[in-house]
Structure formats: structure tokens, C-alpha cells
Amino acid sequence: NAGVTQTPKFRILKIGQSMTLQCAQDMNHNYMYWYRQDPGMGLKLIYYSVGAGITDKGEVPNGYNVSRSTTEDFPLRLELAAPSQTSVYFCASSPPGIRTDTQYFGPGTRLTVL
Amino acid sequence: ELKVEQNPLFLSMQEGKNYTIYCNYSTTSDRLYWYRQDPGKSLESLFVLLSNGAVKQEGRLMASLDTKARLSTLHITAAVHDLSATYFCAVAWRIQGAQKLVFGQGTRLTINP
């Protein structure tokens, strides 16, 4: 298993540009999450999904959109990039079952908006 | 609103010493996680603590949970350089079966020879 994969690893955007951060998992996990990590801080939840076709907002959803058309993929869309969105973005997934639901994190995407 | 606070935020210690990182949280939760992050890397799960009094140990790290005090500790015994990293605690609550994790600010641990 590749686990949780994210692309790209690095990206520089200009203000106002759009992009999609890709996330995929091959562990057949129901639950998927997007977090952002600002320098020197913990992670904050942007959006999450409990399964294909079902998504919901986390703590900091403004400026982002998500979709979940398949179990494997959970892309994050930035429509109008702003400097405040400069951050490292982590995707995570977890299996069903209350006793076994540790979240597994991808390698991250480092995004800079100039 | 669930808040999670870690202290200290920075910790520099010598090899061979013992120390404890504290994680306080503001509302009831059914589980608490400890993660490790190396510079420029992703998060690695260390421990999940499910109930009051839970204690887990892996090598030189031991984590415990006191749900009544809303406190978890990560104890480092006889530190070695390889344990240098940032450590995060995260508290979970469940919505629609999914977990929402709230992270502490992290403790940046540096272990000097």
C-alpha cells in the first residue's frame, strides 16, 4: 500500500490564482480530512468527508472547497489564492471502526502565495 | 469550543535526562493522540489513549491520560538525540462517525549530546 499520497509537494501561486491539491489513499478508508499547518503551529481542520459524496466543514473552511466522488480521492480546491493561505497542507484518512480510527497523514503540500 | 494547550512549547534538554510534556484540553473527549513530526515531514502517530488512566509506552516514551483532569502527559526517559522532533497532542471528538482532531501548538524538543 502507498498509504496517503499528495501532489504536488511544493507549489508557488500568485494572488488570485486557483489550484487543486490532490489527495489519494489506497487503504479503503471511509474518512478523509484536510488540514493546514501554519509555521510553528498545530494543524487545523479545513474539511472532512465521511464517505463518497459526503463532505463537511472543519474549523477553517473559508477560501476552500472539496469534493469526494470516490472513496480513494479527496481533492482540495483553492479558488482565489490569498497570502493568508500560505501554509503546509496535510491530507489524512482513517478507517471505519471506533477502536481503530487513528488518522494516517500524507507527506504534505507546501504552498506559498505571493 | 475545544481548546488544547501544550507546554512547554520549546524544550532543550541533554541526553540522558528525563522530562515531561503536558497537554491540557478544555472539554470532554473520548480519545487523545500523540504525534511526532520531524522538520519538513509529515506526522507520525505515536500513541492513542482511549480511557481514564490509560498508559502506553514505546521505548523511551510513555504517554498517560487523566480524563478527569483533562490532562495527558508524554514522558521522556533518558533522552537520546534521535528523539529530537516536534510533538503534538490532539484531542478528538466525533461527528457523523468521523473524528475531528484539535491539535495543540506542539512542543519542539531538542536533545543535545
Q: Dump pLDDT digits (tens) for B67-92.
A: 999 999 999 999 999 999 999 999 98
Across the A:B interface, residue pairs with CB atoms under 8 Å apart total 61
What SS3 class is residue B82?
helix
Distance CA A65, CA A74 (A): 10
Q: Is B88 on the interface with A (CB under 8 A)?
A: yes
With bands split at pLDDT 50, 70 and 90, how would you rate the model's confidence at A99? Answer: low
pLDDT score for A41: 87
User: Any chain A CB within 8 A of the CB of B64?
Assistant: no
3-state SS assignment for residue A83: helix
The pLDDT value recorded for residue B100 is: 84
Most A CBs within 10 A among B33, B41, B88, B99, hence the mutation to make, goes to B99
Query: pLDDT by residue (tens digit) across A2-19?
Result: 799 999 999 999 999 999
Mean pLDDT of B11-31: 92
B49 Cβ under 8 Å from any chain A Cβ: no
Residue B90 in contact with partner chain A when CB distance is under 8 A = yes
Per-residue pLDDT at A100 exceeds 60: no
Tell if the CB–CB gap between A30 and B88 is shorter than 8 Å: no
pLDDT reading at B93 higher than 90:
no
- C-alpha–C-alpha distance, residues B55 and A33, integer Å: 27
Q: What is the mean pLDDT of residues A86-105?
A: 84
Please say if the pLDDT value at position B98 is more than 80.
Answer: no
Q: How far apart are the first and last CA of chain B?
A: 41
